A and B are shown apart, each in its own frame.
Chain A
């Protein structure tokens, strides 16, 4: 089947050593001493000029973390992480927080240019045709710049680094931080609560449709540093926001740690669309180096008729442990999860989603496409849970996997728990190359085989790619370097 062959060739073509973003920026940095202790947490908190309650919050989390054990249930295998061999804080010198572009170290700007991230507003404005995107750039432990802040402010949208928000909008932070992912949630989320250094904060007020795409670009640059970012997005009644995060890291021999927490809150009639293009350094072809990516992402559809949609394109990281989830609390709320996970070389991915149906008439949709090549392991792990009082819940889940080569593995571990009889839950998963049924359907209507395959494949790719904002869809496709042909199931 040509479509399949093409996909296979394309995936083989992505030589793992061709990681484009593996360069290192030589820049002066401020670092906290290596290791983790209460003092380090005090140091981070002081650096961020945080109020006392925030420090307390962090210390509480730290104490809790000390009593917790690293989870081992995921299908990933890695040597034990020495959490004391990591720098928890590294910031480019001369950056005390996001400031105007003129004050930013030119070396940093060049870095973002190399990464293709537009930080200069005027440049973006020059290209009239291009949709505008506001960017928050996080470099190691600090946010270096946030663009279009003023224009967003006019619309009432707050978009800034979370450190800034803690200082400027403490009430909002107090009200929402940790309400979706509590500090006690899991090992990595608790660690994050103790040591998070930066991240983005978005607040969209009642009835406002955010006038542009928001984006955060994370970059780990320093050696031996961990990145612990925390993102909080709040969409008030009837608000809408679309947000994208991207990430890269230099090529290094040792493994680096990334443990992020993302919390989304959607109130009545609000909608949040969260897209991720994850391209951390995956390690070299022998499996040396790469990012350990342990991420907790969760959205809370707190209001009626609210909607949260996760779209992820996962191509990087040596280890991915990530389950963007939706809590469908409000009646008629909706959760979506669209995922493409490509693993190559020695990568290990254990990713999926949780859809927790609590409210009435809630619906969720899960589309997951996994492609594994090389000697990688790619696991979909998901849960759909319909609680006793969640009447008329609806779920559709589809997980397809494609294996390329006989040294890799593709696994599916879905958990479906139904406690209400009025629900309708459908789950399907396949591992194959292309479905004969679909091909037959098209062909018996007079469409030649080649075209039939193209037709099916096009429709198939749309499922996930279409969910990405236009700009990023192109980027994502380039990034993967493949179309999703052949994983049609």
Chain B
């Protein structure tokens, strides 16, 4: 029976520590993905570094790492301002580590430096892949091909209730100088962090369920740290926006940001106030169009009336002229009749002192028309005599 060597746990750990720390005495740049990230109350940051199999499956490597508070104070702002992201789960990172071994806590990596450029690169690659995929799927043209109604007054808004951006949006809309009124319904959702895309998509489904009550959907977020806006590069959120049945207006960014959500939306604006102004402007434009049209109506009406009046005047004048002619002709005819009566009337002669002998109503024009003893009438201008012929003298016979 061979004598067995027995050592204490402490001695074993001491030996392991010695082997590990002497074998891995240098510093190593390690590529990994972040798992759980915890910040200790004393300011130390504990991160699980992991590696997943290429197919996107399970974890194939995992180790605990720590950034001591003294380093973390400088590395945190450096990382966040450079990448525009918080140091959180799910990031690809490149870290400079030192391997340490503790008899109590086992092996861990002490992170002494971090290269944000790597994370940016990784993030940008993911972003570019999403953009390319969305482009191939034709997602950039879908929502923008929807027509915004002429007067979009029924607004579905996805935002967070307490957010300054949402309040700015509502205030700007309600305080518009023109007295337009809007109906705004808020669908609250978290607008930052990993859960934001799913939360927003969930609320979009709520809006879609009552889409007949809305003209457009707005996704609104006020200011905030740039790293909070990474969720607006999410592929799933992008396809949901692109295929949304209502026009989607996105106003989440800062002046220098342009997210995938902006690219697939119908309209993308910088700020909540700009989104409100965009809607008000649609109303103003429509109102101006109305004013313009009503002026045209009134002008054309006036000119039409003027031309009708001219026509009427002309007709009136024609009628008056026709009547004048008519009356003149009538009077002329009467003049003629009057002259004819006067010239044919025997009374004219009688009035000059002549008299007219009648027998049986006919003129006695010749001595041969009567015989002595005949009665006849002698017509004068003021009456007549009843006469009898005493004798006849024939003027032609001497």
**A interacts with B:** no
